[in-house]
A and B are shown apart, each in its own frame.
Chain A
Amino acid sequence: MSHIRAIHQMLGNAGPGNSISAGARLLRNALHEWGYASELYAETVAPASAWKDARHFSRYRPTPDDVLILHYTQASALSDFVRTLSCPLILIYHNVTPAHFFIGVNPDVLATTQRGLAELSTFRERVVLAIADSAFNCRDLLAAGYPQTTVVPIIIPETLSQTLPDPAVTATLADSVNLLCVGRIAPNKRCEDVIKVLYYYRQIEPAARLFLVGHTEYTGPYVAWLREFVAWLGLEDAVTFTGHVPDAALAAYYRHAAAFVYMSEHEGFGIPLVESMRFGVPVLAYAAAAIPETLDGAGILVHEKHFPVVAEMLHLLQTDPGLRTQVVERQFARARDFAPATILALLRKQIEGVLLSLGE
């Protein structure tokens, strides 16, 4: 039996709308059920009352029986702090976006992503278990010299698909064929390629519109360029940058989406793909990084960015209900693989296995 009684989690941001922290919260609740003390410590804690249960990492007081779980996405003050601690560490690696995507976009993000990958190996001596949320991410762990790695998908709570859609947003979506892309507006997401798909699709379906839902902070020059690009194509009325939206609004966008179009060229996992599958929205996604692995045969993979062909595929999905139903059914089946209970059971097996070895 292990002497470990507390398993705390360290993460960058804790608050609503942050996928990693929502999963961490579920894991924390599960750890309580499994009999461990567990707290969330973060570098940035949202002021919303719902997140008063997360604390700033500087308030963490180590005890000899602690194990820490570090959710790693970039170098930060939090990762520097964790490096100063001596307790055993479980690393959950969620991927670091390659720095080159941020050249000419944001020197701060460029620096933290450069450091992020370079410093991944610095926890190696203390890590008792290195978990990647995709086989694609696992490659970074292996390259950083972690000998024992395992793949467990990220925990994605099912609350979003059960959220009532915001009626005000729903009202704006009623009269159009809505293409959706969700995620931080960043160069690796290749939002311009989704806009190009819309450009062609509008020639077939003039009522088509595109909603780019996600944070626009930190990537100002790219967002400004995208807006210019939209204007250059004459699509100002057809493309909406919503910025970050609350869950009720996001649920409305998913519920009323004709298709989810993802042209991203770097994804460590692709959480919006799972959310789309749960909402029954057909997915068309570029086959890059972890995306084929996350879809695992569901949805439609785009191997070559031939935008007229992608637009025609969208048209078929819209006009052939049988085809659409079949695609969506297969997506539902794939989405079930990511049920939080399944992922938590996988994590429990991994965590308790390593704790047992620590107790020996």
Chain B
Amino acid sequence: MPDVTRILEIVDSALDTEAIARRIRENLHEHSLEAREFPEFAVTPPPWDPHSRFPEPVHYDLQQAHEAYTQTWVTMPPLTSRLPLVGRIKRAFHRLVLYYVNRLASQQMVVNAAILRVLTRLVVAPDAAAPDADLAALQDEIAALRARVAQLEASAEEDVP
């Protein structure tokens, strides 16, 4: 059960904060609200370290992708003209074009960001290294079992009259 008094702070001597915390705990139990995982907007690219199961170029490319994926957003200084009316028309046209281009760009960035989040999670996921670790543990276990079997066989042979 979460420590409600650590999560919420109510500074009011007229209120019984302990009673509020108790009621929240009771309601949590009654409503069965369970914490769950959510996707995140921002994911930081992982720096390469020698223990990574992926070679350094993979981390380099991931870093590059993180730095570049927003570059589809278009910015340009406003168009100008010495004639005020022409200048206004040019600026209005310029804003209109940027509006539509950047609507497209923002959708593309959402796709790029989603792909990057998936790639980043695959690279940094704690269980990404698990198959190797599991394999090593299994090999150790097999070796131990083989030794044990050999030992048992040896002792069984000794017992044979």
User: Cβ of A225: which chain B residues have Cβ within 8 Å of it?
Assistant: 41, 110, 113
Inter-subunit contact A312/B33 (CB<8 Å)? yes
Known contacts A104-B66, A107-B75, A326-B15; can you find 5 more A-B pairs with CB under 8 A?
A103-B70, A108-B75, A192-B41, A298-B11, A301-B9
The stretch of B101-109, B120-128, B146-154 in contact with A is B101-109
Does B49 sit within 8 A of A, measured CB to CB? Answer: no
Q: Does A148 contact B (CB under 8 A)?
A: no
Residues in chain B near residue A220, CB distance under 8 A: 73, 102-103, 105-106, 109
**B39 contacts partner chain A, Cβ-Cβ < 8 Å:** yes
A316 to B23, CA, bound (A): 8
Least Cβ–Cβ distance between B21 and chain A, in angstroms:
9
Report the Cα distance A264→B12, complex, angstroms.
23
How close is B121's CB to chain A, nearest CB, in angstroms? 16
Q: Does A177 contact B (CB under 8 A)?
A: no
Chain B CB within 8 A of A241 CB = no
Question: Is A196 part of the binding interface, using a Cβ–Cβ cutoff of 8 Å?
Answer: yes
User: At the interface with chain B, which of A252-260, A273-281, A303-311?
Assistant: A303-311
Q: How far is the CA of A228 from the CA of B39 in the complex (A)?
A: 11
Residue of B nearest to A219 (CB): B106
Interface residues in B67-95 by Cβ distance below 8 A to A read 69-71, 73, 75
B34 touches A (CB below 8 Å): yes
Query: Which residues of A pack against B, CB within 8 Å?
Result: 103-108, 187, 192, 196, 200, 203-204, 220-226, 228-229, 232, 287, 297-298, 300-304, 306-313, 315-316, 323, 326-327, 330
Q: Bound state CA distance, A106 and B102, in angstroms?
A: 10
CB closest residue in chain A, given B31 = A204
Please, which residues of chain B bring their CB within 8 A of the CB of A298? 11
Is residue B119 contacting chain A, with contact meaning CB distance below 8 A?
no
B99 to chain A, nearest CB (A): 10
Docked CA distance A229–B42 (Å): 13
| Least distance between A26 CB and chain B CB atoms (Å) | 30
CB neighbours (8 Å) of B113 from chain A are 104, 221, 225
